[in-house]
Amino acid sequence: MRELVLGTIRDQPDIEIVGETEDEGGITEMVERMRPDYLIVGLDEPEAVPALCGFLLGRYPGMKILAVGAEHNRSVFYWAFIDIRSKPVETSEQGMLTVLRSRTELVET
């Protein structure tokens, strides 16, 4: 799944990969250093918010997180707006690109 996601993003002229780590422990340090607009993480449990979301979105509320779960064929988009928000994402190349190009509104319609 990792290679599929990276391959999809690398081919997009308007999206740049600024960092990559296989070590979950290094994510916080990398986010601190790189300050990405989006973070893509693995989604281990399809019904649970990944543990890092609350901490990272609390610290970097302008960042968005796309969690991708290959085993469950599920993707979820997380962002902060007073509390953490999420919505299901189509688990496809187009679904991921739509999220990465979206501008999340402060108030949902």
Whole-number mean pLDDT of the chain? 85
Give the structural domain span for 29.
2-101
Q: Residue 106 domain-assigned?
A: no
Determine if the pTM surpasses 0.75.
no
- Residues 46-80 pLDDT 10s: 778 888 888 999 999 899 999 888 777 888 898 88
107 has a pLDDT exceeding 60: no
* pLDDT computed for residue 108 by the predictor: 46
Q: Residue 80 domain-assigned?
A: yes
Backbone angles phi, psi at 13, to 5 degrees: -70, -20
Number of domains, the chain: 1
Q: Residue 52 domain-assigned?
A: yes
Q: Strand 74-81 relative to strand 38-42: parallel, antiparallel, unpaired? A: unpaired
Q: Residue 107 domain-assigned?
A: no
H helices, E strands: number in the chain = 4, 4
